[in-house]
Structure 1
């Protein structure tokens, strides 16, 4: 929210609170602008906590609006998130919970999250993980993502993803070197890097992330839950459990 709009909204909240602070008899008087300012200043001086209350109300309203907007975007983009044939996936293709992860190979928090996510998938065989390559940090990230998506055409995307995520720095060059070490057909790989589906995946990831209000990586979608930022394995298990419980409630309501 722009500063001028935020200030106006805060003042509106403040004036609403001032109604309780200004004596009723005086509030009923016909007041000109100067009198209103004077009464407002008196009320603030007598009740300085009103300012904090107004800011808290404004923040709560903004949070509610952002949540509603994100949930609407999630509903509108559910098919693109959970059923995009142009997105790599691992885990159980028939899993009852799908996790969608937005990531960048050069994001340190993505690297920290990778073993946490892997631990949850290993301990729970009923999860499907969809990867959204979202290279936002640098040209190196974009080049590495293009290699990874091209690798998918030859299989073993998950293994390549893990290996690339473990490198100190992911670039187009280091990604290609890794692919060669892992035995991929390099001539085919370089040709596949130019395919329109790869650019389309990256562009779609950016559009989805922006629609959902994500501002950085990693970010996750689990059922109806939006989870921005790094998560530990135990936290992710709780989020998955909530997704299962919500799905069960929705299924029961439809029966």
Structure 2
């Protein structure tokens, strides 16, 4: 119908498609002149709203079309924002002095994981991550503590970050594997027990728990997650791709192959 584009434009302009999906500034700039209401009088606006209302009552499927289009535009804007944030924070994402690096520190491709020690899906994915590292000695694994599930998660992450200040490499991998792979709730007490098992200096660990470095590291991870629109765990970054959820070892291998091919021809952090 020739009338339908005008109706869809009016819906976008007056917000009948839902205030929660209000278009961004860039989206507004892309709207046709007919959709602008900046110079529309109250009477004209009322007539437009009446026309749209009548049309929607007769053709309710148009509202669904408008919602789908607005959601599509919102997703596109979010992806552009994520790509911009990714490039601006690439060095911090891959090379932050605060992060834990496991696997091969000099590897040719980096797998970044945002995780929570109480995340069930992270626990399930642990075995696959370990299999990846065993099968591919060129992978550099970067751990980003992202405690989002509970206060216990925050406490466990604090211990993990403080432990990194004295233990790294295989011993830290042992700690990480035991805490993430263990049963029950991860919290400060459980994390301290595991740290003791792997030979941590407990006096120093207790002291470091209250350090600015612990606070700054977790704040840095949370900020990166916010900028990259990461709101759940596990979430992986491989090359320029964000992989959400416990997607399985085959999917991660595919991403690693693509990232390795890209890294081979570009200058920068991989």
1:73 matched to which residue of 2?
85
SS at match of 1:217: coil
TM-score w.r.t. length of structure 1 = 0.81
- The answer (yes or no) to whether the contact 1:135–1:142 under 8 Å persists in 2 is yes
1:176 matched to which residue of 2?
192
SS at match of 2:99: coil
- The answer (yes or no) to whether the contact 1:87–1:131 under 8 Å persists in 2 is yes
SS at match of 1:86: coil
- The answer (yes or no) to whether the contact 2:113–2:234 under 8 Å persists in 1 is yes
| Range that drifts further, 86-95 or 185-194 | 185-194
Question: What is the CA RMSD across the aligned residues, in angstroms?
Answer: 2.8
1:28 matched to which residue of 2?
none
1:132 matched to which residue of 2?
144
Q: CA, structure 1 residues 157+35, in 2 after alignment: closer, same or farther (shift >3 Å)? A: same
Q: CA, structure 1 residues 38+201, in 2 after alignment: closer, same or farther (shift >3 Å)? A: closer
- The answer (yes or no) to whether the contact 1:88–1:130 under 8 Å persists in 2 is yes
SS at match of 1:132: strand
CA distance in 2, matches of 1:46, 1:248: 57
Equivalent residue in structure 2 for 1:6, among 21, 25, 40: 21
Superposed CA deviations along residues 10-69 of structure 1, whole A, max 9, x for unmatched, are xx9xx98x99xxxxxxxxxxx955654565456446654432322221111011000000
CA distance in 2, matches of 1:102, 1:111: 12
1:196 matched to which residue of 2?
212
| Range that drifts further, 210-219 or 43-52 | 43-52
SS at match of 1:109: helix
- Where does structure 1 lack aligned partners over 5 or more consecutive residues? 20-30
Q: CA, structure 1 residues 37+187, in 2 after alignment: closer, same or farther (shift >3 Å)? A: closer
**CA positional deviation for 1:185:** 2.3
2:13 matched to which residue of 1?
none
**CA positional deviation for 1:79:** 1.1
TM-score w.r.t. length of structure 2 = 0.77
2:229 matched to which residue of 1?
213
Answer 1 or 2: which has greater helix percent: 1
Q: CA, structure 1 residues 36+106, in 2 after alignment: closer, same or farther (shift >3 Å)? A: same
SS at match of 2:236: strand
- The answer (yes or no) to whether the contact 2:174–2:198 under 8 Å persists in 1 is no
- Where does structure 2 lack aligned partners over 5 or more consecutive residues? 1-16, 36-42
> Is the counterpart of residue 159 in structure 1 residue 171 in structure 2?
no
Equivalent residue in structure 1 for 2:252, among 222, 236, 242: 236
CA distance in 2, matches of 1:137, 1:201: 18
CA distance in 2, matches of 1:57, 1:179: 51
Q: CA, structure 1 residues 36+187, in 2 after alignment: closer, same or farther (shift >3 Å)? A: closer
Equivalent residue in structure 2 for 1:185, among 198, 201, 207: 201
